[in-house]
Amino acid sequence: MEVAGQNPSIKSARDLGVVACTRCLQVWPAGTPSCARCGSTIVARDEKSLQRVWALWLVGLMCYVPANMYPMLQTRTLLSVQEDTIVGGAVELMHHGAFGIALIILIASVVIPLGKFIAIAFLAISVKRPSMVSNHHRQLMYEVVEYIGRWSMIDIFVVAIMSSLVQLNTLAAVNPGRASLFFALSVIFTMLSAQAFDSRMIWDAQRAERNIDR
Amino acid sequence: MPPIPRDDLIVCTHCDAVFTLERPAAGQRAKCARCGTVLITPRRKAGLQIIAVSVAITILIIAATIFPFLSISAAGTSNSVSILDAALAFSDGPLVALTLATAALIIFVPLARVLLTIYVLVPIVLDRPPARGSTQAFRLSEALRPWSMAEIFALGCAVALIKISDLADVAFGPAFWMFSTLVVLVVVQDNFLCRWSVWKSLDKTQA
- If asked whether residues A116 and A34 sit together in one domain, one would say no
Alpha carbon distance B123, A92 (integer Å): 55
Same domain for A30 and A129?
no
Higher pLDDT, B86 or A125: A125
According to the model, what pLDDT value does residue B96 have? 81
CA atoms within 13 A on the CB side of A15: 16
pLDDT tens, position by position, A7-56: 556 777 777 778 888 777 788 777 777 777 777 777 777 777 888 899 99
Q: Does A162 share its domain with A75?
A: yes
Measure B57 CA to nearest chain A CA, in Å.
21
What angle do helix axes A179-196 and A112-126 make, rounded to 10 degrees?
A: 30
Task: Provide CB contacts within 8 A for B199, sequence distance 6+.
Answer: A24, A25, A26, A37, A38, B138
Kindly determine whether residue B152 and residue A202, on different chains, have CB atoms separated by under 8 Å: no
This prediction has a pTM of: 0.84
Q: Which residue, B162, B34, B191, is CA-closest to A158?
A: B162
CB < 8 Å from B in window 135-174 of A? 135-136, 139, 143, 146, 150-151, 153-169, 171-172
Degrees to nearest 5, angle at CA A57 with A55 and A60: 110
A104-113, B15-24, B144-153: lowest mean pLDDT where? B15-24
How close A65 gets to chain B, by Cα (Å)? Answer: 18
In sequence order, what E strands does A21-88 have?
27-29, 73-77, 81-84
Instruction: Say which CATH class B47-204 falls into.
Output: mainly alpha
Shortest CA distance to B103 belongs to which of B79, B84, B119?
B84
**Looking at residues B187-198, what average pLDDT do you find?**
82
- Check if the beta carbon of residue A145 is closer than 8 Å to that of residue A189: no
Contact A162 B162 (CB under 8 A): no
Q: What is the CATH number of the domain that holds A66?
A: 1.20.140
What is the residue range of A134's domain? 46-213
Phi, psi of B38 (to 5 degrees): -75, 125
ipTM: 0.82
The tally of CA atoms less than 13 A away on the side-chain side of residue B11 is 28
Domain range list for chain B: 1-42, 47-204
Q: How many CB pairs under 8 A join A and B?
A: 217
Least CB-CB distance to A38: which of B36, B135, B168?
Answer: B135
- Compute the mean pLDDT over every residue in chain A, rounded to the nearest whole number: 81
**Alpha-carbon distance A95 to nearest alpha carbon in chain B (angstroms):** 13
Nearest to A166 among B17, B72, B152 (CB): B72
